[in-house]
Amino acid sequence: MTLDLTRRSLLKFMGGAVVGSVLSPLPWKLLDDAAIWTQNWSWIARPPRGPVSHMFTTCQLCPVGCGMRARLIGASFVSAWPVVGDPAAAGTLCPLGLAAAQMRYHPSRVRGVARRARAAADPAWRIVDADATTGELGQRLAACRSRGAGDSIAIVDLRPGRAMSRLYREFLARQGGGIYATAPDAWQASAAAFAGMATVGALAPAPDPARARTVLNFGAPLTAGWRGRDIVPHAAGGPRLIQVDPAATITAARADRWLPARPGSEAPVALALAHVLVFEALAADARVNALADLPHENGSTLRTVLADFAPERVAANSGLTPAQLRDTARELAAGRPALVLGVGDAGGGPLGSEEEAAIWNLNLLLGAVGPDGALGVRPADTALFDEPAGPAARSLSDIPDGSLDVLLVDGSFPGVPVSAEQLRRKLRGPDGLLVALSPYAGGAAGTPADLILPVFAPGEWVEDVPAPALAARSSYSWATAVAVPAPFALHPAEWLAQLEAASGLVVPPEGGKSGHEAELKRRAGVLQSRGSGQVFDPADGNTTDVAAMSDPDLLAGALARGARWSDKATLTLADRDVRPLGQGGGLAARWRSLAGGRADAAKPGATGSLLLMAGGGLAPAAGAITAPVLNKLYRESGLQPGSRQLAVSATTARALGLAEGKSALLTTAHGRRRVKVRFDNSLPPDVARIAAGPDPADMGDPAASADDRTDIPDLCGAAERPVWRLVRADLQEAHDGNA
């Protein structure tokens, strides 16, 4: 099923010897790897030989979509480099992208259609006959259509907005009304909260910290930049940064001011700041008063709601003093243009629509939206390329449990923290089938699957990369094919065509891979016809106006060579176009229900002695599939805390009778996990922090035992609620020593 021993061993050697060589002090474990390998040279795969060349493409391993220069030896993709001048990430490439060449050789990659019986004593993956499997799946689809149950078929798209997303919708429409679902990540959920307050068009917020004098950030890890863009430190002329964070994270340590608010208090803190802006700091601003007094359908106004969130009331449950709250609001008002960022730690899933709406209201009150502000508004991707004639997108959490016979999950983006249990719950009993369109037997799609239809790995096929949520500008590029496709995998559109044919439907003339290529060209034509924006050519670093491209094929050809289209133009959003309390004014009641913080916050008599926070940052921590060299580096260097390390303060640990480095059993109402205790004295008492990944099992290492393999989203109850970053937990010493 996976790669042979030679390549896997080679990757482990690379992780130990090559990466270890740049670390100081050099970890002895990595030296051991190199020493062992010097005694086993016969195992080493011979490096490719041939002419050296380069191709330009876009990285697919996180939503930012940085420009990438692929280095090839012969036809072999051997390494990745950043593209100088690329507008998506200012010519940088994160460790994920730098290790992209390894993703084709990941130990979890499947070498054919793979199946397992999850209820069996040995639920191992086994390679099965592809034709027989697609025939069986086709019969299932046909049976659903024949009984008028097209809505028992669903596809979960973990990376919406692409050409493949449109093909998924069209496939479901031909199945008789299937369900197209998404699992919004933290950035997508934040953008959706903004759109829920707007009354016009399909809009997307476009925050740009570079245009702000002051940035207030609710927990997002800004040390790696914001959506691929570095934030210049205040001392070097950048914005003044105020970080709201329960722990002394790297971003909090580098901020100009750190506000250690209690976990789950983001909504009341944001509303307390808004209270000061409305009733004190900006009270004479006619625009602010108009926004605060804008009537909603139920007669509520933002002013009447904010009256309940005076800093003196919020301070008791937020861990901040009234003076801290008032001074912060005044500083934002004086330091305009100011920008307030939400999202939180993306590894812990969405922050919550109530929190995000409160944060966006702060931006509206500060006048951040507009040509003189730090917040732009751009067309959503659905508006940029037109909505397809298929089913409207639904959130995975809105699909009733036990309602699906067949659930397909797109696994082309392996770094999404999605609950495996939540996906399984959507199936109708033990006969329901979860099918992953994925290169890997792991990650968000492969982990809960019964069946894997292997698709091309990143770099083996042409896929489009739209602008990530909360990007400062609209953009579009193609991730071109820089490697020879694996012979045991298929283009995802080809799998759809085979399933349609097996179900008795006539495949459209432009079906399969050719249909995907046609949709890519259609999108290039749409951009060319609009005549706005510019195209950056990585080959020579030049930028060309789209208006100068008279032929759609010129733009398509440029995208195929690794170029990127981007558009700085933003839409206007007047105060009358927003509803601070949401379309129906329902935010008022939801905010009041969170006046004391999230429901999972510490309460007298609540189950669990600890409040557990999940986190982990970008895709290296949020997904199970990362490049082997990075996984090894993170595990053995401590540069990234793994999901089997639990951070608590020394005071909390001693109260529980635990020492640093001690093995312990972490238990929530949803599962348990063996961990090792790590001291972090910046954490408040009775609060613990755990990363969503990476897990040692990602490299094929066995889990500690069969009863503690719960992944972090499921451990936190993600199958039951959309906001799962906080949960009550108990911690006790594990006497068997497994962690």
Find the CATH number of the domain harbouring 652: 2.40.40.20
Please check whether residues 673 and 616 belong to one and the same domain: yes
Q: Please give the average per-residue pLDDT across 410-430, as a whole number.
A: 84
Please check whether residues 311 and 411 belong to one and the same domain: no
pLDDT 10s digits, 117-163: 887 767 889 999 999 999 999 999 999 999 999 999 999 998 999 99
Tell me the HSE value of 414 on the side-chain side, using a 13 A CA sphere.
30
Q: Is 563 helix (H, G, I), strand (E, B) or coil?
A: coil
Cis ω for the linkage preceding 48 (within 30 of 0): no
Query: What is the band of 16 on the pLDDT scale with cuts at 50, 70, 90?
Result: very low
| 165 within some domain | yes
Query: What is the band of 381 on the pLDDT scale with cuts at 50, 70, 90?
Result: confident
Q: What is the CATH number of the domain that holds 327?
A: 3.40.228.10
- Residues linked to residue 451 through DSSP beta bridges, in sequence order: 115, 435
- Separation of alpha carbons 369 and 378, rounded Å: 11
- Separation of alpha carbons 357 and 194, rounded Å: 7
| 403 within some domain | yes
Please check whether residues 306 and 402 belong to one and the same domain: no
Q: Is 437 helix (H, G, I), strand (E, B) or coil?
A: strand
| 572 within some domain | no
pLDDT 10s digits, 334-375: 999 999 999 998 888 899 999 999 999 999 999 888 777 899
Q: 60, 58, 3, 67: which is closest to 486 by C-alpha?
A: 3
Please check whether residues 407 and 433 belong to one and the same domain: yes
Residues 6+ apart with CB under 8 A from 601: 262, 263, 264, 265, 317, 611, 726
| 343 within some domain | yes
Q: Please give the average per-residue pLDDT across 723-736, as a whole number.
A: 89
Please check whether residues 439 and 556 belong to one and the same domain: yes
Question: Which region among 43-52, 399-408, 604-613 has the lowest average model confidence (pLDDT)?
Answer: 43-52
Q: Are strands 543-545 and 534-536 parallel, antiparallel or unpaired?
A: antiparallel
Query: What is the band of 507 on the pLDDT scale with cuts at 50, 70, 90?
Result: confident
Question: Which region among 140-154, 427-441, 456-470, 692-706 has the lowest average model confidence (pLDDT)?
Answer: 692-706
Q: What is the CATH number of the domain that holds 167?
A: 3.40.50.740
pLDDT 10s digits, 525-546: 999 999 999 999 999 999 999 9
Lookup: tokens for 571? 């839409």
| Residue 251 confidence (pLDDT) above 80 | yes
pLDDT greater at residue 705 or residue 155: 155
pLDDT of residue 223: 79
Contact 397, 433 (CB under 8 A): no
Q: Are strands 52-58 and 67-73 parallel, antiparallel or unpaired?
A: antiparallel
Q: 738, 616, 642, 737: which is closest to 698 by C-alpha?
A: 642
Contact 71, 80 (CB under 8 A): yes
Please check whether residues 610 and 528 belong to one and the same domain: no
Query: What is the band of 24 on the pLDDT scale with cuts at 50, 70, 90?
Result: very low
Give 398: exposed, middle or buried? Use CB within 10 Å, 0-12, 13-18, 19+. Answer: exposed
| Residue 18 confidence (pLDDT) above 50 | no
| Residue 590 confidence (pLDDT) above 70 | yes
| 376 within some domain | no
Q: Could you please report the per-residue DSSP string of 311-356?
A: HHHHHHHHSS-HHHHHHHHHHHHHT-SEEEE----GGG----HHHH
| 76 within some domain | no
Q: What are phi and psi of 679, to 5 degrees?
A: -80, 135
pLDDT 10s digits, 64-75: 899 999 999 999
Query: What is the band of 427 on the pLDDT scale with cuts at 50, 70, 90?
Result: very high
Q: Are strands 338-341 and 214-218 parallel, antiparallel or unpaired?
A: parallel
pLDDT 10s digits, 623-634: 567 787 777 777
Q: Among 31-45, 398-412, 709-723, name the most confident range.
A: 398-412
Instruction: Show which of 513, 544, 567 is a domain's final residue.
Output: 567
The count of other CB atoms within 10 Å of the CB of residue 244 is 29
Please check whether residues 320 and 281 belong to one and the same domain: yes
| 374 within some domain | no
pLDDT greater at residue 552 or residue 585: 552
Domain count, the chain: 4
Per-residue CA distances from 373 to 288, 377, 666 (Å): 15, 11, 45
| Residue 21 confidence (pLDDT) above 80 | no
pLDDT greater at residue 694 or residue 111: 111
Please check whether residues 542 and 685 belong to one and the same domain: no
Lookup: tokens for 695? 């897990």
pLDDT of residue 234: 92
Q: Please give the average per-residue pLDDT across 563-578, as a whole number.
A: 84
Q: Please give the average per-residue pLDDT across 505-515, as a whole number.
A: 89
Q: 57, 112, 92: which is closest to 228 by C-alpha?
A: 92
Please check whether residues 206 and 318 belong to one and the same domain: yes
Please check whether residues 273 and 147 belong to one and the same domain: no
For 10, the domain range is 1-46
Question: Which region among 61-75, 195-209, 685-699 has the lowest average model confidence (pLDDT)?
Answer: 685-699
Please check whether residues 356 and 432 belong to one and the same domain: no
The count of other CB atoms within 10 Å of the CB of residue 666 is 25
- Separation of alpha carbons 514 and 557, rounded Å: 16
| 345 within some domain | yes
Please check whether residues 344 and 472 belong to one and the same domain: no
Query: What is the band of 61 on the pLDDT scale with cuts at 50, 70, 90?
Result: confident
Q: pLDDT averaged over the chain? A: 86
Q: 400, 326, 337: which is closest to 366 by C-alpha?
A: 337
Lookup: tokens for 650? 């020394």
pLDDT of residue 429: 87
